[in-house]
Amino acid sequence: MHAIEKILARAAGKDRVRAGEIVTAAVDLAEINDLYLQVIQSFEAMGGKGVWDPDKVVFVFDHYSPPPTPKAADNHRVMREFVAKEGIPHLFDIDAGVCHQVMPEGGLVRPGMVLVATDSHTTTHGAFGAFATGVGATDLAVVLIRGTLWFVVPEVVKIELTGRLPQGTTAKDVVLGLLQRFKADGFVYKAVEYAGPAVTDFSIAERMVICNMAVEMGAKTTYIQPDDKLREYLAARGIEDYPIDTTDPDYEYAEVHQFDVGQVEPLLAAPHSVDNVHPVGDYAGTAIDQAFIGTCTGGRLEDLEMAAKVLRGRRIPPGVRLVITPASKEVFLKAMATGCIKDLVEAGATVTSPGCGPCLGIHQGMLGPGEVCITASSRNFPGRMGSPQAEIYVASPLTVAASALRGRITDPREVLEEGS
């Protein structure tokens, strides 16, 4: 069996499971974000009389932090009341950050667990050796009542990453390269395991990036075999006790692919599809109105530091907006301590509260008709960040920072060479 199958088998109380089988698995962690008052509405419509295990439930107010409208504020109020009534100990309020960042930071994510959340980027937690997948609001409400959910055991695709990242490229460019090759529907319904020496070299933050955007290729979940680097990350958060599953040597993958990260160059996804991927150089010189660095894809300390490295002691041009949204309070505090927030603000950045920022087009930097944005977030669907007539380019934090500096799409290698 694959490690993912062993996790599902344990959660379903079975000795063996196989791809294609439907299993009912016990859920270890269920997270609800503030877009989905529907979870509570479905819970009540189903006659829910109390959540199955309040310790395993998490609410995170990240998409509407702080609330941009009276309705969003009222949705938060109803959720806070539900949390209080049900005795749920984990409420990350508007000061906390993006769910996929605050849950690992808070020591809630561990290897071998079954994690569901009302967010498609839940695939991020494969970086921690968890079986983690996004679900809808009513599915999550079923979990609140039953503590279980049905899953089809997925086929597993293995992607072996070899080589070393060249100067000026990042894990984001790797996952954009994968999107270029495998496309937006490459792994629909399937699980993606990342393996190989480049994955071992990657930091936890870099692993989170490639797992996060696996969903843009349709993946149901991801998996990276836990190693010493992960053990250290977990131990620093007081997590020592967890199972580590390993894949049997005779397991047959649905597909095995090799990808040499040493061949990657700075890439971007051009409007209006995540798999419309090209070298940054092909679009060099395109004028931008806004640059955005943040989210569960690109708002970690490492991302802000990359941007600061490009922008320190420099100034973005007048008329260009640079919006920075730290992924979490912890990231924000660390970025203040290292001075990188100061560097970015002095360079002309507008820093928002931790959370999802303008990624999903509800506040904190929406785009007008005809505007062009380059973003370190994950999606450039039509209308994603505001006007359907806006154009969104998805790229690495380095490319976004270099483009902000010049006011036009720029290969970060040009700027890094200048600065060195």
Specify the residue, 184 or 244, whose C-beta has the smaller distance to other proteins. Answer: 184
Q: Does 185 bind other proteins (CB under 8 A)?
A: yes
Where in 202-221 is the site for other proteins (CB under 8 A)?
Answer: 218, 220
Q: Does 145 bind other proteins (CB under 8 A)?
A: yes
Q: Does 179 bind other proteins (CB under 8 A)?
A: no
Which pair of tokens denotes residue 2?
């694959």
Q: Does 41 bind other proteins (CB under 8 A)?
A: yes
Number of chain positions touching other proteins (CB under 8 A): 48
3-state helix, strand, coil in the chain (%, to 5): 40, 20, 40
Q: Does 297 bind other proteins (CB under 8 A)?
A: no
Contacting other proteins (CB under 8 A), which of 15, 20, 47, 240?
A: 47
The CA-based angle 215-247-129, given to 5 degrees, is: 45
Of 181, 224, 173, the C-alpha closest to 201 is: 224
Q: Does 355 bind other proteins (CB under 8 A)?
A: no
Specify the residue, 139 or 160, whose C-beta has the smaller distance to other proteins. Answer: 139
Contacting other proteins (CB under 8 A), which of 273, 286, 338, 353?
A: 273
User: How far apart are the C-alpha atoms of 363 and 67, rounded to whole Å?
Assistant: 9
Q: Per CB under 8 A, which region of 29-37, 89-97, 278-286, 411-419 contacts other proteins?
A: 29-37
User: How far apart are the C-alpha atoms of 225 and 382, rounded to whole Å?
Assistant: 36
- H helices of 168-322, in order, are 171-182, 197-201, 204-212, 228-235, 295-298, 301-311
User: How far apart are the C-alpha atoms of 245 and 111, rounded to whole Å?
Assistant: 8
Q: Per CB under 8 A, which region of 318-326, 340-348, 360-368, 410-418 contacts other proteins?
A: 360-368
Q: Per CB under 8 A, which region of 61-69, 223-231, 248-256, 302-310 contacts other proteins?
A: 61-69
Q: How far is the CB of 63 from other proteins (least distance, A)?
A: 7
Contact 268, 374 (CB under 8 A): yes
Instruction: Report helix angle 412-419 to 397-406, nearest 10.
Output: 70
Beta strand extents in 362-401 (DSSP E only) = 372-375, 391-395
Contacting other proteins (CB under 8 A), which of 9, 114, 115, 142?
A: 142
Which pair of tokens denotes residue 314?
């420099």
Specify the residue, 300 or 384, whose C-beta has the smaller distance to other proteins. Answer: 384
Contacting other proteins (CB under 8 A), which of 260, 346, 381, 419?
A: 381
Q: Does 35 bind other proteins (CB under 8 A)?
A: yes
Contact 322, 404 (CB under 8 A): yes
Q: Per CB under 8 A, which region of 94-102, 242-250, 299-307, 382-390 contacts other proteins?
A: 382-390
Where in 210-269 is the site for other proteins (CB under 8 A)?
Answer: 218, 220
Contacting other proteins (CB under 8 A), which of 386, 396, 404, 413?
A: 386
The single-letter code of the amino acid at 10 is R
Contacts of 370 (CB under 8 A, 6+ apart): 387, 389, 390
Q: Does 63 bind other proteins (CB under 8 A)?
A: yes
Other residues' Cβ atoms within 10 Å of the Cβ of residue 349: 23
Q: Per CB under 8 A, which region of 1-9, 331-339, 367-375, 384-392 contacts other proteins?
A: 384-392
Q: Does 357 bind other proteins (CB under 8 A)?
A: no
Q: Does 69 bind other proteins (CB under 8 A)?
A: yes
CA 154 to chain centre: 21
Q: Does 138 bind other proteins (CB under 8 A)?
A: yes
Reduced to 3 states (helix: H, G, I; strand: E, B; else coil), residue 274 is coil
Encode burial over 322-340: b for 16+ CB neighbours within 10 A, e otherwise: bbbbbbbbbbbebbeeeeb
What binding mask, one character per residue, do residues 86-125 give for other proteins by CB under 8 A, x or -?
--------------------------------xxx-----
Diameter over CA atoms, the chain: 63
Instruction: Give the helix/strand (H/E) hosting 124.
Output: none
Q: Per CB under 8 A, which region of 64-72, 158-166, 301-309, 317-325 contacts other proteins?
A: 64-72
User: How far apart are the C-alpha atoms of 220 and 216, rounded to whole Å?
Assistant: 10
110: phi > 0 → left, psi -120 to 50 → alpha, else beta; which?
beta
Specify the residue, 93 or 414, whose C-beta has the smaller distance to other proteins. Answer: 93
Contacting other proteins (CB under 8 A), which of 13, 18, 55, 71?
A: 71
Binding residues (CB under 8 A) for other proteins: these are 22, 35-38, 41-42, 45-49, 63-64, 69, 71-72, 75, 118-120, 134-139, 142, 145-146, 150, 184-185, 188-189, 218, 220, 273, 360-362, 379, 381-384, 386, 388
